[in-house]
Amino acid sequence: MADHYYTSQPAAAHDRKTWEALLRGQTFRLVSDAGVFAKGGVDFGSRTLIEAMDIPEGAEVLDVGCGYGPIGLTAAKLAGRGHVWMIDVNSRAVELAKENAAANGVNNVSIVESDLFSALGDRSFDVVLTNPPIRAGKATVHAIFEGAYERLRAGGSLWVVIQKKQGAPSAKEKLESLFSKVEEVTKDKGYRIYKAVKA
């Protein structure tokens, strides 16, 4: 089986694409490549999460599985004087995210290659965002939820986008086992946006 985006060193031949995307009123010029998730444009799930997520001014934010960066870079614009950490296991995605941050003048970000949360040390966050890598399996998705809970500050929130047919009900159940409050913020074309708040 060919490797997919949840791999540290994609073997796919390069096939770079550049386009513009309007996200939360900001125009981003983005480049992506083969071997990363949604290489042809901002996918519907990520776009739905971007439109729903609440990023307070000055927030410390984490984007788990950042890919080439649309979620985290939008969050960085919204956070203003805050800071966004963007992590991904995929080295090609990390390099693209860095390139996209520079091209769009986004300076309040740290973009690092990390297998789940391994590169973050003991940092904590106000907001965690994820469009989780469903193809990596339920254990990985649940590990993202658990790690997010551990790293969120009290009152902090985890925002998740997941398709109903790809496990939204079990994802919600897992979130409810960890967080004091879980709400479905929006749903669109089978995608669910969950906000889970840490007491």
Residue pair 119/157 in contact (Cβ under 8 Å)? The answer is no
Q: Residue 133: CB partners within 8 Å, gap ≥ 6?
A: 5, 6, 37, 65, 140, 141
Instruction: List, for residues 29-45, the tens digit of each pLDDT value.
Output: 999 998 898 877 899 99
Q: Residue 70: CB partners within 8 Å, gap ≥ 6?
A: 21, 23, 28, 30, 42, 46, 47, 50
Instruction: List, for residues 87-142, the tens digit of each pLDDT value.
Output: 999 999 999 999 999 999 999 999 999 999 999 999 999 999 999 988 889 999 99
Whole-prediction pTM: 0.94
Instruction: List, for residues 149-185, the tens digit of each pLDDT value.
Output: 999 999 999 999 999 999 899 999 999 999 999 999 9
